[in-house]
C-alpha cells in the first residue's frame, strides 16, 4: 500500500537542550554530517513519500526551511571553483519531493497531537499518512527502515500502525508503554510508574495514521482546552480512544537501533553510533 504523505513536527524551543538550542533548532543538531531531522526525511523519501508537511515554529529565521531549499550562491561557488562533485551533497531534497511548511505558535496548544491536527485541517488530509517526529530515528543502514517496517505491517488503508521498540524495563517509565495482542495495539500508557510496568515494549512516535485516526486527533484537540501549565495534548490519548472504539493499529517491529537526539546523552550516543564509535 503506497503512502506518499508524511507529517514531521519540528516546532518548539527544545528547552531540554539549552543553551545550544538558543541558536540551533533541536531538529537541526548535527548527527554525523547531517541534521537530526534529515534521517527521518531521507528514510521517508526512500519509502515513497513525495509530500512532507513540516510543522515549524513561527519564528525567523527557520533553519529547517533553509536547509531544504536550494542555495544558489553556494551552487555557483562550487561550480566556479571546480567542485561540481559536491553539488549533490548541497542538494538536500530531490526535485520530485515537496516540503509544505505549517507554522505553529510555540505559546499556543502544545503536545504531539496538535501538529497532526493542524496539518490535517489545513490540507484536508483524507488518506493514510506517516507521522514521524524530528528529533529521533532508527539507525539500520542497509537494512529495513522504520518506515518500511510500518508499511509492511498495515493490510489496508483503514489500518494504522505504530512502531514498537524494546527497551530495558527500568527505561519504560520514560516512554509510552504498549501491549500487543494478535500483532495489534491493545493498550498504551504514557510514562507509567515502574510498579505498573507490564511490558518492555514502547512507542517512539513513529506511526502510520489512517484517515479515521487522524480525525480522532482533530476531535481530541478541539474537544479540550488545556492551559499552558495543564495537560499536554498527547497523541497517545486519542490513539487509546481509537483502539477502545475498535480501530486497528498494527504494531510494527523495529530493525536496528533507536537513537534519540532529544537529550544530550542520547545525542552524543547517536553521533558515536553513526560515526562508527563505541
Residue 278 has pLDDT above 60, yes or no: no
- Distance of alpha carbon 17 from its chain centroid, rounded? 18
Locate all alpha helices (DSSP H) within the chain, ordered by sequence.
36-46, 63-67, 72-80, 87-90, 113-123, 146-153, 211-223, 236-244, 264-274
pLDDT tens for residues 166-224? 999 999 998 889 999 999 999 999 889 999 999 999 999 999 999 999 999 999 999 98
Residue 105 has pLDDT above 60, yes or no: yes
Q: Report the distance separating Cα 146 and Cα 162, nearest Å.
A: 10
Cell of 194: 515502574
What is the model's pLDDT at position 223? 92
DSSP assignment of 182-236 equals TTEEEEEEES--GGG---SEEEEEEEEE-HHHHHHHHHHHHH----TTS----TH
- The DSSP secondary-structure symbol of 91 reads -
What is the model's pLDDT at position 13? 86
Query: Structural domain of residue 133, as residue ranges?
Result: 5-274
Could you tell me what percent of the chain has a pLDDT over 90?
85
- Say what the pTM is: 0.95
- Exposed e or buried b per residue across 214-245, where buried means at least 16 C-beta atoms within 10 angstroms of its C-beta: bbbbbebbeeeeeeeeeeebbbbbbbbebbee
Q: Which residue has the higher pLDDT, 71 or 1?
A: 71
| CATH number of the domain that residue 62 is part of | 3.90.550.10
Q: Report the distance separating Cα 187 and Cα 183, nearest Å.
A: 12
**Which class for 33: exposed (0-12), middle (13-18), buried (19 or more C-beta within 10 A)?**
exposed
pLDDT tens for residues 114-170? 999 999 999 999 999 999 999 999 999 999 999 999 999 999 999 999 999 999 999
Residue 50 has pLDDT above 60, yes or no: yes
Cell of 93: 531534497
Residue 49 has pLDDT above 80, yes or no: yes
The answer to whether 139 and 257 have CB atoms below 8 angstroms apart is yes
**Structural domains of the chain, count:** 1
Backbone angles phi, psi at 115, to 5 degrees: -65, -35
What is the model's pLDDT at position 225? 87
What is the model's pLDDT at position 277? 60
Averaged confidence pLDDT in the chain: 94
Amino acid at each position: 500500500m503506497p503512502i506518499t504523505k508524511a507529517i514531521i513536527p519540528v516546532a518548539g524551543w527544545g528547552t531540554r537542550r539549552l543553551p545550544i538550542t538558543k541558536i540551533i533548532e533541536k531538529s537541526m543538531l548535527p548527527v554525523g554530517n547531517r541534521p537530526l531531522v534529515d534521517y527521518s526525511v531521507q528514510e521517508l523519501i526512500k519509502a515513497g513519500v513525495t509530500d512532507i508537511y513540516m510543522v515549524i515554529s513561527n519564528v525567523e529565521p527557520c533553519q529547517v526551511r533553509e536547509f531544504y531549499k536550494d542555495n544558489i550562491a553556494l551552487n555557483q561557488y562550487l561550480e566556479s571553483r571546480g567542485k561540481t562533485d559536491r553539488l549533490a551533497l548541497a542538494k538536500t531534497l530531490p526535485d520530485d519531493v515537496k516540503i509544505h511548511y505549517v507554522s505553529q505558535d510555540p505559546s499556543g496548544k502544545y503536545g504531539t497531537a496538535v501538529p497532526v491536527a493542524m496539518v490535517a485541517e489545513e490540507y484536508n488530509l483524507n488518506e493514510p499518512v506517516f507521522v514521524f517526529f524530528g528529533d529521533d530515528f532508527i539507525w539500520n543502514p542497509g537494512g529495513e527502515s522504520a518506515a518500511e517496517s510500518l508499511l509492511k505491517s498495515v493490510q489496508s488503508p483503514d489500518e494504522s500502525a505504530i512502531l514498537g521498540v524494546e527497551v530495558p524495563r527500568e527505561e519504560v517509565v520514560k516512554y509510552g508503554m504498549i501491549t500487543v495482542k494478535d500483532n495489534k495495539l491493545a493498550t498504551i500508557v504514557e510514562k507509567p510508574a515502574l510498579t505498573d510496568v507490564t511490558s518492555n515494549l514502547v512507542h517512539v512516535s513513529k506511526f502510520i495514521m489512517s484517515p479515521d485516526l487522524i480525525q480522532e486527533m482533530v476531535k481530541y484537540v478541539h474537544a479540550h482546552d488545556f492551559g499552558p501549565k495543564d495537560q499536554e495534548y498527547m497523541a497517545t490519548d486519542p490513539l487509546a480512544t481509537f483502539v477502545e472504539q475498535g480501530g486497528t493499529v498494527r504494531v510494527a517491529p523495529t530493525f536496528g537501533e533507536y537513537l534519540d537526539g532529544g537529550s544530550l546523552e542520547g545525542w552524543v550516543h547517536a553521533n558515536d553510533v553513526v560515526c562508527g564509535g563505541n
